[in-house]
Amino acid sequence: MSDNKQTETTRNDTAMLPAVNVIEDSNGITLTADLPGVPKDQLLLQVEADTLTIEGEITLSVPQSMDANHIEVSLPRYRRVFTLSKELDPGKVSAEFNQGVLKLRIPKAAHAQPRKVTINVA
């Protein structure tokens, strides 16, 4: 799996890159992405061919009676795109989203799984 690190743009807006950890084991990979402030209904996961896209939108609201003097989060959108290796099975991706942390599990394809070879006696 590789990260497409070009500038991420969507709907003519630049997006923040969420922090992501990728851990591989013998059965596949586990990807965790930090998406603070993104509600579940504003989270989009898409797998198309060998491309995984994670997008999330934050609602940044300031009450009408107040003015923001300092804003550190100036982009209301997260976006990250990954290219999945041929060893992974994009049809079996599972996802959990809890308190702003997205956890994806992508298993290895059957052809990439370790398998035991039977030894015949001649």
pLDDT score recorded for residue 94: 96
∠ Cα 117 119 108 (to 5°): 0
pLDDT score recorded for residue 66: 80
Q: Which residue has 């497409």 as its token pair?
A: 4
Distance CA 119, CA 122 (A): 9
* Contact between 34 and 18 (Cβ < 8 Å): yes
SS3 for 106? strand
Phi, psi dihedrals of residue 42, rounded to the nearest 5°: -110, 15
pLDDT score recorded for residue 88: 93
Output the tens digit of pLDDT for each of the chain's 122 residues: 666 544 444 445 688 899 999 999 989 999 999 999 999 999 999 999 899 999 999 877 777 888 777 777 667 899 999 999 999 999 999 999 999 999 999 999 877 777 788 899 98
pLDDT score recorded for residue 6: 42
